[in-house]
Structure 1
Amino acid sequence: MEPQVFVGIDVGKSQHHATAVNQEGGVVHDKPLPQSEPKIQELLTDLVAKHGELLVVVDQPKTIGALVVAVAQQMDTQVAYLPGLTMRRVADLHPGQAKTDARDAYIIAETARTMPHTLRSITVAEEQIAELSMLCGFDDDLAAQLTQVRNRLRGLLTQIHPALERVLGPRLAHPAVVDLLGRYPTPAGLKRAGRGHVRARLKKLAPRMAARLTDEIFRALAEQTTIVTGTHAAEHIIGRLAAQLQQLTQQRSDVEAEILLVVDAHPLTEVLTSMPGVGVRTAARILTEVVGKDFKSAAHLASYAGIAPVTRQSGTSIRGESPSRRGNKVLKRVLFLSAFASIKGDPVSRAYYDRKRAEGKRHNQAIIALARRRSDVLFAMLRDGTFYESRPTQLATAA
């Protein structure tokens, strides 16, 4: 049914702003809207009673805008969202330079009325996909925290004993090294413990490299006899950072187990993992970033992921194609890493990669080209629910 009123909602943490315009462009509502289910229901019910069918458009369909979308869908109201980049470009077409919630809400509503092709549809999210999205988001947060703590730990080690950092810093992802620093957090503590205790400590979690790593540690300790100012304070900090690493690593392991359970239960998992280079974690990312979105074609999916080349042409002076700097960064990274993994075990992918290299493309360019080709296959697999089929002659000769 064609909407009679277009409701633009500029979402916020505690309060949104809602502006509604009719088909003629007249403003029929323009007020703040609390982040509250009863208030949202009251507004939508009132607008439906007065004007008929609604189209609710938000600028953020997830996080702070999730409640608005859920309430509207529960009331069988049409819902869409206006991407942020489109929103900013359309805003330049409107007079004024002010940045207010009321102006943004009006621009969203007016864009929905006059340029409906710029909107993106929002489907009712599967419970599994919503759960996966939250778990993967939390996993990203934990990974960022792990990187931050490791960098901080490496910085402290470099400050008090550079030689020791060169040995232990690159190995901070190994639980045995973190455990060792938790027990002996300073060069002096390692020296007092002696080779025997250090080797025994490492052997618990790294039996094969314990002896070799112990030798490297004590060679590094012998390189420096000067005690740098601040070493005593660093002892307490390094121990705490090591404990944080252990906790974060355990939390990430627990989250990974939960992700695997949800992914294994999803009906599309077997379809995705049938493609070479796609494991369970990769499948989880593809599910959260692709499922529930409406892609008209394989080219649309590639453009959304940012792996489709961008053509630039202006008369005869500028001609060529360049990599896209836009797109969904998470999906782009997943497709890139998946393509990279596939060249090691899939002869078809390897042949396509070698062909692009022979054409003069650099490694990353060849991988992006392969990812673009694989996204076409992925689109067909998800659309039809079919498993991956290797066709050497077709893929190897594809452009």
Structure 2
Amino acid sequence: MTSSKQRRTEFQGLPTLPNEALYIGVDIGKFKHVAGFLSKTLLERHKHFDHCPAFIFEQSREGFRAFVERIQAYCPLEQCFILMEQTGHYHRSLLQYLLELDLPVFVIHIQRRQEGMVKTDKRDALGLANQLYTQLELGAQVANTLQAIRRALPPSEAAAQLKGLMRHRYELVNEATQRKNKLTAICDELFPEFTQVFKDPNAALALDLREHFPTPAAIAAATSIELRTVRRRNHPSEAQFMQIQQLAGQSIGTKNPARQDSLIVEQTLLIQELRLLQNHLEQLEEKIGQIVEKSREGQILTSIPPIGPLFAASIIATIGSIGNFEDAAHLKSYFGWAPIRTQTGVSFDRTRLTKAGSREMKKVMFLVAWKAIQMDTEWAKLYKRLVPRLCFYDERMQAYKGKGKALGHIIGRLITLIFALLKKDYELLNKLSPGTEPPPPTMYDPELHQRHRTGHYSPLRREGPQNRIVQHSS
């Protein structure tokens, strides 16, 4: 392993850049990373960004130290800017290390390579450095938003805790759904009439009955005393027990003994697995609820009527830090709810949602908005006014068609509100002196929302760009 003294000897021939910015692109790998260095002086010396210097370092603390020492050989750390792609989880360790040093780190979506181009890690790293130089130093704008860089800010304490927990919950929910689907399929084959009495064959009571009496024959032969062992309070009722026994005696389920035996074993194991997953989900959701309740972001989000603790946890974990977003439009795009308009003269004009953004947050915001219009909220009143204006009335069906437009409008308002409240609290905390006790966060006020809707509007933020909590609905 190369020592610090040996590295300093190697760095002696490098040009120093005391009065200019150094732009660094990092190509992320599983075990090693490649950093490309670019500046005005380096471009003048090497003529083309492809020929500028690069540095390979390992995915380890010693490798990260070597990378920082190489930067310091060119210029002070305050003059460097670093760009890396978001490649799964391999970039996270380096990103956290650099943020701990208060270095300005930028991230970008994974870039698509041009066909026919010679691909090397060095070229990729220097290409990223060139993008950073072009956008920061030269101020060039990019037509494709996927090529736009953004400053990486460390996530809030709540976001750092919730990110892994919400991901694990998502996996547990998927696994539990798989078990339920298999148990439903077994019930359909073993005792298809079961759902005439128990609508959900995977409910707690239904699983208890299926575990104790796995076949229709077992249910038909059981006494009333034996059946009552699975009873919880007054459920199932005596009438339901009688009905299930009658159906069991006439069931069309499989009668093959070998097949029945294998289904019973599979059903028993699946029930045990499902209960374990449900137990883990309960523990996880309890912990998530505690984190949301204690965090400022959680208190702000749960003050909005349709947002519960789990929805709030998904939003916090996805955002990380609201400082990563310049305005509500960027947050809408990140959530997958930004409209894209395609227009050609007067013959073609269509608006659709972007396919980019977080798939999970697209679902979450849809559910939040759907819940909002079912409750007694200002969004429900707005939705009722928007449907006749934005939707087509089908005379034959006697109903409005295309209500998704109105619901999408509600989602846009909700995201704007979320951004305004979180951004205001973020800016407030950044202005506080170290050690100062922060004031309570600004919560959602339904009375203020109603006044805004009736025309008495006052902006939440009076300095700089105005991010409104509630836009006029008229």
Smaller-chain TM-score range? 0.7 to 0.9
Which of 53, 58, 76 is matched with 1:28 structurally? 53
Q: Distance in 1 between matches of 2:371 and 2:81?
A: 43
Q: Give the corresponding residue for 1:178.
A: 207
The 5 A counterparts of 1:234-383 are 234-293=263-322, 294-359=324-389, 360=391, 362-383=402-423
Q: Distance in 2 between matches of 1:226 and 1:178?
A: 19
1:393 CA drift (Å): 5.9
Which of 261, 275, 285 is matched with 1:232 structurally? 261
Per-residue Cα deviation, 1:20-74 (whole angstroms, up to 9, x for no partner): 131222431153x432122122122223223443323222277332111111112
Q: Distance in 1 between matches of 2:253 and 2:171?
A: 39
Q: Output the amino acid matched with 2:413.
A: R
1:146 CA drift (Å): 0.4
Structure richer in helix, relative to its length: 1
1:102 CA drift (Å): 5.0
Q: Distance in 2 between matches of 1:225 and 1:144?
A: 28
Q: Distance in 1 between matches of 2:293 and 2:197?
A: 39
> Residues 341 and 209 of structure 1: is their aligned pair in 2 closer, same or farther, counting only changes over 3 Å?
farther
Q: Give the corresponding residue for 1:398.
A: 473
1:195 CA drift (Å): 4.7
Per-residue Cα deviation, 1:294-320 (whole angstroms, up to 9, x for no partner): 222222222221223211112333212
Q: CA RMSD in A?
A: 2.7
1:245 CA drift (Å): 0.3
Q: Distance in 2 between matches of 1:195 and 1:362?
A: 53
Q: Output the amino acid matched with 2:34.
A: A
Q: Distance in 2 between matches of 1:280 and 1:351?
A: 24
Do residues 69 (structure 1) and 95 (structure 2) align? Answer: yes
Q: Give the corresponding residue for 1:387.
A: 443
Assess if the C-alpha contact under 8 Å between 1:310 and 1:321 holds in 2: yes
Q: Distance in 2 between matches of 1:302 and 1:211?
A: 54
> Residues 17 and 211 of structure 1: is their aligned pair in 2 closer, same or farther, counting only changes over 3 Å?
farther
Q: Give the corresponding residue for 2:69.
A: 45
Do residues 78 (structure 1) and 136 (structure 2) align? Answer: no
Which of 84, 104, 125 is matched with 1:58 structurally? 84
Q: Output the amino acid matched with 1:42.
A: A
Assess if the C-alpha contact under 8 Å between 1:56 and 1:79 holds in 2: yes
Q: Distance in 2 between matches of 1:392 and 1:369?
A: 18
Q: Distance in 1 between matches of 2:158 and 2:358?
A: 21
Q: Give the corresponding residue for 1:223.
A: 251
Q: Give the corresponding residue for 1:18.
A: 34
> Residues 136 and 153 of structure 1: is their aligned pair in 2 closer, same or farther, counting only changes over 3 Å?
same
Query: Aligned with 1:20: secondary structure?
Result: strand
Q: Which runs of 5+ in 2 are unaligned?
A: 1-18, 44-48, 142-147, 392-400, 426-441, 455-471
Q: Give the corresponding residue for 2:395.
A: none
Q: Distance in 2 between matches of 1:114 and 1:167?
A: 68
Q: Give the corresponding residue for 1:8.
A: 26
> Residues 154 and 107 of structure 1: is their aligned pair in 2 closer, same or farther, counting only changes over 3 Å?
farther
Which of 112, 115, 123 is matched with 2:153 structurally? 123
> Residues 372 and 244 of structure 1: is their aligned pair in 2 closer, same or farther, counting only changes over 3 Å?
same
1:324 CA drift (Å): 2.6
1:144 CA drift (Å): 0.8
Q: Output the amino acid matched with 2:54.
A: H
Q: Distance in 2 between matches of 1:264 and 1:230?
A: 50
TM-score normalized with structure 1 length: 0.87
Assess if the C-alpha contact under 8 Å between 2:36 and 2:122 holds in 1: no
1:275 CA drift (Å): 1.0
1:202 CA drift (Å): 3.6
Q: Distance in 1 between matches of 2:357 and 2:87?
A: 17
Query: Aligned with 1:7: secondary structure?
Result: strand
Per-residue Cα deviation, 1:350-384 (whole angstroms, up to 9, x for no partner): 11111222221534332222111121122211122
Assess if the C-alpha contact under 8 Å between 1:61 and 1:69 holds in 2: no
1:105 CA drift (Å): 3.6
Q: Distance in 2 between matches of 1:61 and 1:130?
A: 18
1:99 CA drift (Å): 6.3
Identity over the aligned pairs, expressed in percent?
Answer: 22
1:235 CA drift (Å): 0.7
Do residues 132 (structure 1) and 159 (structure 2) align? Answer: no
1:169 CA drift (Å): 7.3
Q: Output the amino acid matched with 1:218.
A: Q
> Residues 379 and 212 of structure 1: is their aligned pair in 2 closer, same or farther, counting only changes over 3 Å?
farther
> Residues 378 and 395 of structure 1: is their aligned pair in 2 closer, same or farther, counting only changes over 3 Å?
farther
Q: Output the amino acid matched with 1:305.
A: F
TM-score normalized with structure 2 length: 0.74
Per-residue Cα deviation, 1:172-195 (whole angstroms, up to 9, x for no partner): 1x2222333333333333334345
1:168 CA drift (Å): 5.3
Assess if the C-alpha contact under 8 Å between 2:24 and 2:82 holds in 1: yes
Q: Output the amino acid matched with 1:55.
A: F
Q: Distance in 2 between matches of 1:145 and 1:37?
A: 36
Q: Output the amino acid matched with 2:152.
A: I
Q: Output the amino acid matched with 1:59.
A: E
Query: Aligned with 1:230: secondary structure?
Result: helix
> Residues 226 and 145 of structure 1: is their aligned pair in 2 closer, same or farther, counting only changes over 3 Å?
closer
Equivalenced residue count is 387
Q: Which runs of 5+ in 1 are unaligned?
A: none
